[in-house]
């Protein structure tokens, strides 16, 4: 067997192994997270009556996270940071995997308004580079392994393998010219994704899942009124995206000036106060979104409007204060809340109109924030009916374009000044 064929076989074999290992790590992490949340937020309050329990736990937890970060470093790193290091440095430090796991877990147990994707991506990418450094025949393919690992992580977490592929590929390419990966790379992604999803589903079937899947919206057929309101929904998504960027800047400046431990404690205090006032604002949001889809009528439209903006604000507070993780899950939940609020203000019975509004608002919101319309479409593909595929892509592209034009205009004004 010649060397090139042997190397190709090794690459295929290890992509399958990495996919399965990633699925196992993700399941184990999410299972521990689920058990920890159940113990902290259900078992203890169910047996002990502690006044201001949420406020006490969040504030004390924030202080403990601050001590942990002061001792071990600023972890977990965000997805863009992880992929940026891989792209620029062609490697990733895997000497602190245990620290990365704990750093990703603690804020989630605390009820922080974040998702688990940021910390888990760093762990899986680190494991891929460990394979490359410790197995001589894998060294030359370490970068490919890391990209496959990141794609599998996102694909398994969001139950959308194609989203993982295109999110990673778009991150590694010119933002203006996105090319599809080659046939061999698509095969490797598909093999790893199948292995990752298979391992995750097997463990979930045997021992129970650790994280609820993104809920699915009921099938619906848009009508003329939905199409007429599409521009309004896109505008609302862009407004919420603008609010996201504004609060990101404000919280970064305000909390960044605070010393270590104080910053995390302040973040925990804000989380506790907002969590006591509106528990729906805590955690990543996928379970709350399922409840909202099932019975949206129990909420007032203005209440959902407030939840959407407060969820975005709290997510930025958590991330900038150090109680951090990914932002995809909470941002999707915020977009869905705003979409339902808009539909309920226009239609006496939102029904299917709420599904269309939620899809358009969320797509425009994510398109503006992620700047990756195709990845956004694939991310939302499993949540919303297939009939909305085209409209989701158009809303995501419009959101991306609108915020890009706004950013360009602001930069020109600054240069003139």
Residue 21 has pLDDT above 80, yes or no: yes
Prior bond of 137 cis (ω within 30°): no
Q: Which comes out higher in pLDDT, residue 353 or 182?
A: 353
Give pLDDT, residue 417: 47
Q: What angle do CA 240, 41, 295 make, to 5 degrees?
A: 50
Residue 213's pLDDT is 65
Highest mean pLDDT among 141-145, 237-241, 379-383: 237-241
- Asked if residue 161 has pLDDT above 60, the reply is yes
Report the C-alpha gap between 386 and 380 in whole angstroms: 10
8 A C-beta contact, residue 390 and residue 356: no
Distances from the Cα of 338 to the Cαs of 29, 141, 282, 392, in angstroms? 31, 44, 17, 16
CB 189 within 8 Å of CB 181: yes
For residues 116 and 109, the answer to whether their CB atoms sit within 8 Å is no
**Per-residue pLDDT tens for 292-323?**
888 888 889 999 999 999 999 999 999 999 99
Across the chain, mean pLDDT equals 82
Look up residue 384 and give its DSSP letter: S
Mean pLDDT of 207-220: 76
* Cα–Cα distance for residue pair 369/394, rounded to 1 Å: 15
Q: What's the mean pLDDT in 183-207?
A: 81
> Among the listed ranges 73-77, 115-119, 209-213, which one has the minimum average pLDDT value?
209-213
Instruction: Determine whether 97 is exposed, middle or buried from the number of CB atoms within 10 Å of its CB (0-12, 13-18, 19+).
Output: middle
- Residue 182 or residue 222, greater confidence: 222
> 113, 330 in Cβ contact below 8 A?
yes
- Answer whether residue 174 shows pLDDT above 50: no
Please say if the pLDDT value at position 119 is more than 60: yes
Lowest mean pLDDT among 15-29, 111-125, 179-193: 179-193
Q: Using an 8 Å Cβ cutoff, are 128 and 18 in contact?
A: yes
Mean pLDDT for 143-162 is: 72
pLDDT for residue 171 is more than 70: no
At 257-305, the pLDDT tens digits run 899 899 999 999 999 999 999 999 999 888 888 888 888 888 899 999 9
Nearest to 64 by CA among 231, 268, 238: 268
Which long-range contacts link 182-188 to residues 24+ away (Cβ below 8 Å)? 185/144, 187/12, 188/11, 188/12, 188/15, 188/144, 188/148
Name the pLDDT band for 177 (thresholds 50, 70, 90). very low
Which pLDDT does position 175 carry in this prediction? 45
Query: Of 61-70, 118-127, 174-183, which range is least confident?
Result: 174-183
């Amino acid at each position: 067997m010649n060397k090139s064929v042997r190397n190709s076989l090794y690459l295929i074999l290890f992509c399958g192994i990495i996919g399965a290992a990633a699925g196992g790590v993700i399941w184990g992490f999410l299972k521990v997270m689920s058990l920890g949340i159940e113990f902290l937020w259900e078992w203890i309050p169910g047996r002990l009556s502690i006044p201001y329990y949420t406020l006490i736990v969040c504030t004390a937890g924030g202080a403990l996270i601050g001590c942990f970060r002061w001792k071990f470093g600023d972890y977990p790193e965000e997805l863009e940071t992880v992929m940026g290091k891989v792209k620029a440095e062609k490697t990733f430090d895997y000497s602190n995997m245990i620290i990365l796991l704990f750093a990703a877990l603690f804020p989630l147990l605390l009820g922080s308004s974040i998702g688990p994707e940021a910390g888990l991506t760093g762990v899986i990418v680190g494991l891929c580079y460990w394979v490359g450094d410790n197995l001589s025949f894998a060294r030359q393919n370490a970068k490919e392994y890391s990209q496959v690992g990141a794609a599998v992580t996102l694909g398994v977490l969001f139950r959308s393998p194609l989203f993982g592929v295109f999110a990673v590929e778009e991150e590694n390419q010119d933002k203006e010219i996105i090319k599809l990966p080659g046939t061999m790379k698509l095969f490797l992604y598909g093999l790893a994704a199948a292995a990752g999803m298979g391992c995750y589903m097997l463990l979930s079937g045997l021992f129970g899942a650790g994280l609820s899947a993104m809920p699915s919206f009921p099938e619906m057929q848009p009508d003329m009124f939905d199409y007429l309101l599409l521009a309004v929904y896109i505008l609302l998504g862009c407004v919420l995206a603008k609010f996201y960027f504004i609060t990101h800047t404000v919280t970064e400046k305000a909390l960044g000036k605070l010393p270590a431990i104080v910053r995390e404690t302040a973040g925990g205090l804000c989380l506790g106060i907002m969590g006591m006032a509106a528990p729906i604002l805590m955690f990543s949001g996928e379970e709350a979104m399922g409840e909202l889809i099932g019975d949206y009528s129990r909420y007032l439209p203005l209440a959902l409007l407030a939840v959407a903006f407060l969820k975005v604000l709290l997510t930025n507070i958590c991330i900038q204060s150090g109680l951090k993780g990914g932002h995809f899950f909470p941002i999707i939940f915020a977009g869905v809340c705003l979409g339902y609020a808009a539909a309920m203000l226009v239609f006496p019975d939102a029904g299917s109109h709420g599904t269309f509004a939620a899809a358009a608002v969320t797509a425009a919101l994510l398109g503006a924030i992620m700047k990756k319309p195709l990845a956004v479409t694939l991310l939302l593909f499993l949540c919303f009916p297939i009939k909305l595929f085209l409209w989701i892509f158009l809303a995501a592209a419009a959101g991306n374009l609108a915020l890009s034009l706004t950013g360009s205009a602001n930069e020109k004004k600054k240069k003139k000044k």
